[in-house]
Structure formats: structure tokens, C-alpha cells
A and B are shown apart, each in its own frame.
Chain A
Amino acid sequence: MSSVQLTNITKKFKDVTAVEDLNLTINEGEFFTFLGPSGCGKTTTLRMIAGFYYPTAGTITFNDRDMTKVPPEKRNTGMVFQNYALFPHMSVFENVAFGLKVRKLNKSDIKRKVMDVLEKVRLEQYYDRQVSQLSGGQQQRVALARALVIEPDILLLDEPLSNLDARLRDQMRTEILRLQRDFGITTIYVTHDQVEALTMSDRIAVFNMGKCQQVGTPLDIYNNPVNDFVAQFIGETNLFPVEPEITDEQIKVYKLKDSNFKIHAKHKKSEISDDKHSGLYMSIRPEAVRLKNEKMEGNNVVEGVIEIVQFTGASVHFFVRVDKSITVRITRLNKGPHTYFNEGDKVFVQLPEEHIRIVPKAGE
């Protein structure tokens, strides 16, 4: 088991900067996720850790050992590729045994270890199958077994579930977590699926355009996004540009851009580095917004008309137009038909102060 430290890592491909000045520490035994939209540099970072790319600048250390220039075969990382990269000319057993054969273990040890790990991924009866005769989920587990059997210091997974259908994805998510806890292995998981990231990770690093935007626990990232990108990328949110009006110690009032609405907010000074920041946004999650057919007490109450009602089963989404340029999205649990509003209803919307976050625009 290892911790991983990335210090001032930059990776350039000719004139494309795939990763820029990245600093990260991944602790021993942690399930750490790289999350971000397509092309933001997640794979590139993972491949630098595996040793397939060398950083243009910066250092990579495992447990204080400098690994920046070590070739991939000497790093003892176990990688699960997005397409699994199973050797098509070998059986399940031979695939899993490959890393052990390279390490020159004797035959009986190899056999024991391979069968052990196949049992862990519940594939022991498939050991002599050709890999082409396995289903997607089974292939995925062979890839996992092959990476785990060498007892790697770090397990690297690059979107391992993206080729599977929704139901299997759910199953495999639990499976991976179970194995990770079993082996207690430091794991780096790449995904662009926020649900996957939130449900599985100990900590998440959110990437955008080659830069790490925020590192934190799933709770932290969801509740306290540091900028508009993170707020918007993780979960649903209502995001409006605002300008500061009064910002002293007690009262903070912002004005929605291009309208007269005053927004009262409560937040600690430390949350925004600089209130005079060029662009500020207010973010509020749809489930935090209150909705009633009569005027409510307190600040931040506006009147609007229900424009769209979407029913998703467990919850109901309402889109309320409060101004010609502003629509608020509201999510409520489904508590029965008597609680529904209809399209065209006049309603009141409250944005509770304690749920409002004022965040800066993400740096370019």
C-alpha cells in the first residue's frame, strides 16, 4: 500500500496542455476519485501515475519514493483499463496469472493465488474460459482480478464501468467497493459520472480543463462547492450571476444581475476569497428551495408561475418562472398527488438564506 503525491505536475502534448500545475495527495488505503468532464485531463493524470506518460514538469512520489521517471513495469500499480485490455489469446486463468508469471512465482503459488482472487471476484468456475466467451461484467471482473492478484501498491481504474449497462453498473460499483475494502488498497478511480463519484469515494478531485478545481469529501464537494463549475457539475443547481450590494460582517445582500431582486445570504467570510471578485454567482440546490401557494415569512421570497412539471417517480421537479430571464428549478419528494402543483399555477418561491452559496467564477 502506498500514498501518492503529485507535486506541481504539468503535462503538455505539443501545444495542448492536458494537465496544469496539479498538486494532490492521495492517502494510504483511500478511495480517491478523479471527476470531470471529457477531455479535462483525468486519464492523462492516471497514466502519469501508472508511468505511461512522463510529466513535462513536476514530481510523482509513492510513499516519499520519487517515481517520476520510473518505467511502468517497475511501479507495481494495478490498472484496470476502460476497454479491460484482456489478452484475447489467453484464458481467464492465464490472463490473471500473467503478472505472477512475470514475477517468476512458482507454479503452485501462481495457481493458488489466481484461484483465490478468482473466487473473490466470483469467477472461479470460469477459469478455463477464453475471455471472448465472457459477458461484459465478467470481463470486467477478470480485469479487476488481474490487477489485484499482483498485490499492487495502488489500484488504478479508468472509467471501468462506462461500457456496462445501467443495472450491471450498479452491481459492479458495489463489487468494486467491496473488493477495495477487502484488500484495503489505495485506489484511484476515474469517472465522469458524478453519481459514481459521490457514492463510492472517500475523497474526490474535480477537474476542469486540465486544472484541479476542488478536492474534498463527497459531502464537502456537494454542499460547499468552491466555484460555479463545481456547483454546476456536481448535482443539479440554480446558478445565477450576482453583484454584491452590502457585505459587512452581519448582513450580506447581493443583487441578481439584470434584475432588481435582492438576495440575502449567510456565509462565512472565508468561503469567498475575494468579494470584489470579477464574477460572482449564487448557487442553491433545487431541493433546498421552498415552494408554496401563499406568501412565506422571511427574506428571498418571490412570486412566480409554474412553467413545467416533471415527474420522475421518487421526486417531482418544478420550473418556476419568476422573471422573464429567471427560472428557478425546484425538486420535491413525491408525497402524493395532493401536494402537486399544476402548470400555470401562481406560487411563491423562497430561497432560504442558509442554503445559498455565493461562489466565484472558476478561473480560466
Chain B
Amino acid sequence: MMNAENRRTAMLLIPISLVLIGYVLYPSIETIIESFKSQDAFSFKNYEDFFGSKASANLEALWNSVWISILSVFFSALIGVPLAFIFNRYDFPGRKFFSSVAIMPIVLPSLVGVMAFMFLYGEAGLVPNAIKDLFNLSEVPFSIGGVSGILIVHAYTMYPYFYMTTSSALRNLDPSLEEAAFNLGSNRFKVFWKVTFPLLTPGLVAASLLVFMVSMASFSAPFLLAGGFRVLSLQIYFSKINGDLEMAATQSVILSVVSILFLLFMRWFQERKDYRMASKGIGAHRSEVNNPILKWTMVTIGILSMIILLLPHATLLILSLVPEGAWTWQTYPTAFSLENFKLLFEDPNIWDPVRNSLVMSFIACIGVFVFGIITSYTLVKRKFVGKNLLDILVMIPWALPATVVGMNLILAFNEKSIFSFGSILVGAYWILPLAYFIRFLPLVVRSTNAVLEQMDDSLEEAAKNLGAKWFYTFRRVVIPFILPGVLSGTLLAFVQAVGEFPTSVLLYTLDNRPISIEIMNQLRMFNIGQAAAYGMIQVALISIVIFISDKFLGIKAERSL
């Protein structure tokens, strides 16, 4: 029987399925098909090449990606977890300020962050050279690059995952549990290993898996720092540049399989082990640090980590003030001015990428906003068969590395298809907004799901009971209820789209080249100041968004990751 409710569900499902099938499923399938093609015939040759001796660089890249990711998890945890403990468990002067600085890496888009690190600690970096001059050394004492560079950048950009999960777990941990253990006669060490740590493990495991996935997919860091070092996400890009689409597809499939396996494992783990605290309402207790030595040690740790954490931001700001030609062969920049920012508004060639990024991200975000609300509403509030399937379909772009999303689009839309309305999208303007839409749809759906799940079904029922039709209810009750959450998700998607590099570098054209591509170009031309000024725009945008979410939408920055 098809009653009114079922009809409505069907009406919602039709556009959702069309979009997801057309722009998520179909491109993925095209990639898989391509990976089994060799000279237009079905074959396993690409996979034989990948795992065989013929293209051994691939296997090496896969292996490199895996161990780099494992080490990234290790180092991120090594920084994030102790910091979370210190800032959440001890009270000392400046604690609040330090703890808000601790999440500052999230305002640096990955490409911009890597750039800042290069100029800070690289061969010609400010810090090594400053030390060299300070101590009159003949050579720079150290410099990052290659593997060490990638690892340091990963640790810096990814430790907030550990810091935030650990902090929130510590805040939610009922102090009476630990007190009970002390009361039963355990010592500090035992209490930590037997009570605190087991309660933190679910969060830690989730953060580990997330960091692993993110660094498997990481593109900007290897792109700028790797040198001759190979990782899989970068190999895909090189294969594509060399015109070997079949191998690029094969590499994409393999990278995706690894990522999706991890995603599934993560879901399974979260469902299996989610012990939330039964009690609530008791704020975290902080031990006040009275021992002066300990207290000043903590303050020193706080100040030192603050300096290290903010150095990239400061570097970026300084670099953005260096006009073209003022820092080429010199050890330090020789002049400072607002030239780069002025040029942004005066030179259309410089302004164009900013406008492109803003316009394309805006288009993508309107799509993500509307489509995200509908999809999330259908997923959370409607009953239908195949819900799990739809859920997975929505989350695929989240699990897939950005490079793979880009490859999927290339392989699906380098010829005419009904989903591109009969035109070839590769090389056209619209492919980038489409890519941003797909990349950031899961983010908005996830944040909308979270608020919709908080909305009791009885609200909609109450509206209906008072005589409101479905659409009126949706407009007047559902949307206003979820709007803050959706808006903050969409704003976050917007700033991430503005900074997006991996899909941009695969899909851009001259007409729509976005900021990140222009940063790359300016770096190539050694016009570091202009590149940094572009970076500053992104940092400013992200800061504004976090501020708005926090002040007006009541969404904490911690939740936005």
C-alpha cells in the first residue's frame, strides 16, 4: 500500500538517489572499470603491474604510505594526549589561554601549513638559519625535508584529533570513578592504567584510525616536501599527469580499498565499544598545582608549545608582508610592506583566483546545504528499505582520499554522460564546484544528522497534530531547529573548499584556477610573499567561520572536525 507517508519518502528519495548514483557511485564504478582495462580490453594487467616487478615503485609507494601513516598516528598521539592531560587535569596560570591555542593548527589549511613549515624549518628556513647565524655555524644545524618533513607536518596538523578526543573524554570522565579507585587503595599509576586509560581507549582508537586515514590520503605535504620519496596519493597524481589513466585508476582503487577497510573497521569498533558515562553533570576536576617547580614547569611547557604552535602562523604573516623580489638569495627577507595585499585588490590576475575560489565554493555550498538537509532528513527521519545502502553511499566521499575523488570525476566525465547533461565536464568550469560538492557533502550530512538525531519525533507530530501539512512543518519546525548545526557545517565546508588542493590540482583549468593552485604557481615563481598573502586570506576566513560558529551558532570548534 502506498500511503501519503510512503509517497513522500519516495519523492525525497528520487533526487537523492539520482545525485548519489550519478556523482558518487557512477564515477567510482568508472574508476574500477578503468582499472581493469588494458588497451580497451578486460585484463588484470594493471594489478599485475602494480604488485609485480614491472612497476615496483607502486608497491613501494603503498608501503611508504602505510608506514608514514602509522608513524603519523604515533607522533600525533605523542603530542596530543599529554597536552590534553596537562591542560585538562592541572590548573596553573594561563591554562585557559594555552588550551585554546592548542587547537590553532586547525586554522591552517594543509597546503598553507606545509608552506609555512618549509619556510620555517626547510633548507632555507628561518629557524635553522637563525640558529646558524646565532652560533656562527658553517652549515645549518638541521632542516626538514622528505620523510622527516612529512612526518613533522603530519604530527603538527593531526595531533588536534588526539588532543580534542582526549580532552573531551577527560571532561566527560566522571571524577568519582577515579576517586573510587583511590578510595579502594590504588595508587596514581594503577588508577591511570586500570581506570582512566581503559575509559579513554575508545576515543584514542577512533582518533588513531582517523589520523591513519587522513595521512594515507594526505597530498599537500608529500607534494611539497617529498622530493624523490613516493607515496600512493602522489603516485596517482603523477600517473594522471603522465597520461596513464589506467594505472591512475588502479592506484586509486587500491588506495580506496585500504581507506574503506579502515573506515569499516572504525565503524565496527565504535559500535562495539562505546561506553558512555552513566552519570553526568559533574565537571572535570583539576588539581591545582601548588608545588612551584612543577607549576613553573607546566607554565614553561605551555609557553614553549604555544610558541611552537603559533610560529607557522607568525611566519605566514611575516612572509605575506614580503613584497616580490625582497627575499630571493638573501638569508632573511629584506623589506616589508602591504604590497601583496594591495595587489590582491588591484591586479585582476591576482584577484581572480580568490574570486574563483569564493564563487565555486559558494556554489558548492549552496548545493551541499540544500542537498545535505534533504539527505540527512531522509536518512534520520524517514523509514525505507535500503537505508544502510544510502548511508554508505553518502559517506563514500568522506572515506575516499581526495585524490581518488578527483580521479573518479576525471574518469567519469571525460566523456559525455547523462549525468553531465551530455557535455564533457573535464576541462570545464563546473567540474570543480561539483568536486567540492561531493567532497564536502558528507561533512554537512554528518553535522546535520547530529542535530536531527537530537530532535524528538514528537516535534513533527505535534505540528501535524495542530494541523500543519508536511511542508509547512518542515519549513517552520524542522529547518529552524536544525539551522544552526547545518549552517556551521556548511560554513566549515565552505572554508575547506576554499582551501581544497588535491581535487583542485587534478581538475582545474585556466578559467577556474582556485587559490590553492595560484599558491603553488607563486611558489614556483619564488614569489613567496604573494603565496603567503593568499594563505592569510584562507586563515582569516577559517578564523571568522570558527568565531561565527562559536558565538552565533553555539557550536564549539572542537566539534567541527
A binding-site residues for B, Cβ under 8 Å:
50-52, 54, 69, 71-79, 81-83, 85-89, 98-99, 102-103, 146-147, 150
Bitwise, B499-516 to A at CB < 8 A (1) or not (0) is: 000000000000000000
Which of B459, B464, B477 interacts with A73 by CB under 8 Å? Answer: B464
If A54-B3, A71-B4, A85-B459 touch, does A78 touch B465 (CB 8 Å cutoff)?
yes
Q: Is the CB of A81 within 8 A of B467?
A: no
| Given A54-B3, A87-B477, A89-B480: A73 and B458 interface contact (C-beta under 8 Å) | no
| Known contacts A81-B458, A83-B456, then 5 further A-B pairs from the complex at CB < 8 Å, ordered by chain A residue | A71-B464, A81-B461, A83-B458, A98-B466, A99-B468
* Chain A residues whose CB sits within 8 angstroms of the CB of B121 once the complex forms: none
Q: A71-B4, A73-B469, A89-B480 are in contact. Are A98 and B463 (CB under 8 A)?
A: yes
Q: Compute how far the CA of A87 lies from the CA of B464 in the bound complex, rounded to whole angstroms.
A: 13
Q: What 6 pairs across the A-B complex have the smallest Cβ distances?
A: A99-B466, A85-B458, A85-B462, A79-B465, A72-B464, A102-B467
Known: A85-B458, A89-B481. A76 touches B467 (CB 8 A): yes
24 A-B pairs (CB sep. < 8 Å): A54-B3, A69-B3, A71-B4, A72-B465, A73-B464, A74-B467, A75-B465, A76-B467, A77-B465, A79-B461, A79-B462, A81-B461, A83-B458, A85-B458, A85-B459, A87-B459, A87-B463, A88-B481, A89-B480, A98-B463, A103-B467, A146-B466, A147-B465, A150-B466
Taking the nearest CB of chain B, how far is it from the CB of A351, in angstroms? 48
Q: Are A73 and B462 in contact (CB under 8 A)?
A: no
A72 touches B472 (CB 8 A): no
Q: Which of A74, A85, A102, A146 contacts B461 (CB 8 A)?
A: A85
In contact, B456 and A85 (Cβ under 8 angstroms): yes
Cβ-closest chain B residue relative to A54: B3
Instruction: Report, as a range, how many residues of chain B touch the other chain.
Output: 10 to 19
Question: Which residues in B have some Cβ–Cβ distance to A below 8 Å?
Answer: 3-4, 456, 458-459, 461-469, 472, 476-477, 480-481
Q: How far is the CA of A146 from the CA of B459 in the complex (A)?
A: 13
Instruction: Kindly provide the distance from the CB of B404 to the nearest chain A CB, expressed in whole angstroms.
Output: 40
Do the beta carbons of B459 and A98 come within 8 Å of each other? no
A33–B461 alpha-carbon span in the complex (Å): 22
The CA of A85 and the CA of B463, in the complex, are separated in Å by: 9
| Bound-state Cα–Cα, A34 to B91, Å | 56
Across-interface contacts of A98 in B (CB, < 8 A): 463, 466, 468, 476
The residue of chain B having its C-beta at the shortest distance from the C-beta of A149 within the complex is B466
Q: Report the bound CA distance from A69 to B472 in whole Å.
A: 21
By beta carbon, the residue of chain B nearest A87 is B477
- Cα–Cα, bound, A86→B458 (Å): 9
Q: Across the two chains, which residue of chain A brings its CB closest to B5? A: A71
Contacts of A73 in B (CB 8 A): 464-469
In the complex, what's the smallest C-beta–C-beta distance from A255 to chain B, in angstroms? Answer: 51
Q: A51 to B466, alpha carbons, bound, how many Å?
A: 12
User: Could you tell me the distance between the alpha carbons of A54 and B459 in the complex, rounded to whole angstroms?
Assistant: 19
Q: Which residues of B have CB within 8 Å of A146?
A: 462, 466
Complex Cα gap A86–B463 (Å): 10
CB distance from A338 to the nearest CB of B (A): 49
Residues of A close to B461: CB separation below 8 A = 50, 52, 72, 79, 81, 85
* Complex Cα gap A72–B3 (Å): 13
The residue among B4, B458, B472 with the most chain A CB atoms within 10 A of its own CB is B458
Chain A residues within 8 Å of B468, by CB = 73, 98-99, 102
The residue in A75, A85, A146 that gathers the most chain B C-beta atoms within 10 A of its C-beta is A85
Q: Are A150 and B467 in touch, CB under 8 angstroms?
A: yes
Nearest A residue (CB) for B455: A88
Q: Which residue of A lies closest to B4 (CB)?
A: A71
CA distance A176 to B476 in the complex (A): 29
Q: Give the residues in chain B near A87, CB-CB below 8 Å.
A: 459, 462-463, 477, 481
| B residues less than 8 Å from A50 (CB atoms) | 461, 465
